[in-house]
Amino acid sequence: MPVEVERKFVCDSRILEKLKDIRAVCLGQYEFKDQYFDTADFTLTLKDFWLRKREGSWELKRPTSNLNTETRAQDVCTNYREITDVLQIRAELMSIMGIYAEHNTESLQKEQDKDVHAEFQKWVQEMKLECFAEFTTVRHSYTLEYEGDDRRVRVDLDQADFGYCVGEIEVLVSEADEMTSAMESIEKTAQKLGIGSEQKTEGKMEVYLQRFRPDHYAALLKAHVL
Ligand code: V4E
| Whether residue 195 has pLDDT greater than 70 | yes
Residue with CA closest to ligand 1 atom 12: 204
What pLDDT does 153 receive?
A: 93
Whose CA is closest to atom 7 on ligand 1?
203
Q: DSSP string of 186-208?
A: HHHHHHHTT----SPPP-HHHHH
Ligand 1 site, residue 8, Cβ cutoff 6 A = yes
Helix (H) or strand (E) holding 53: strand 50-54
- Residue with CA at minimum distance from ligand 1 atom 25: 226
Closest CA to 10 of 165, 142, 131, 119: 165
Residue 168 alpha carbon to ligand 1 centre in Å: 10
Alpha-carbon distance of 44 to 96, in angstroms, equals 7
Is the minimum distance from the CB of 226 to ligand 1 under 6 angstroms? yes
Measuring CA to CA, which residue among 198, 203, 192, 199 is closest to residue 226?
A: 203
Amino acid at 215: D
Q: Judge if the beta carbon of residue 11 lies within 6 A of ligand 1.
A: no
Output the pTM of the full model: 0.90
- Look up the ipTM and state it: 0.95
- The alpha carbon of 50 and the centre of ligand 1 are apart by a number of angstroms equal to 8
Q: d(Cα 84, Cα 201) in Å, to the nearest integer?
A: 26
pLDDT digits (tens, 9 = 90+) for 59-95: 999 998 655 555 565 678 888 999 999 999 999 999 9
Task: List pLDDT tens digits, range 109-132.
Answer: 555 556 888 999 999 999 999 999
Rounded to the nearest angstrom, the distance between the alpha carbon of 112 and the centre of ligand 1 is 33
Amino acid 152 reads R
State residue 122's pLDDT score: 94
What is the average pLDDT across 177-200? 84
* 75-to-65, 79, 81 alpha-carbon distances in Å: 12, 10, 16
- Tell me what the pLDDT averaged over the chain comes to: 88
CA of 164 to the centre of ligand 1 (A): 14
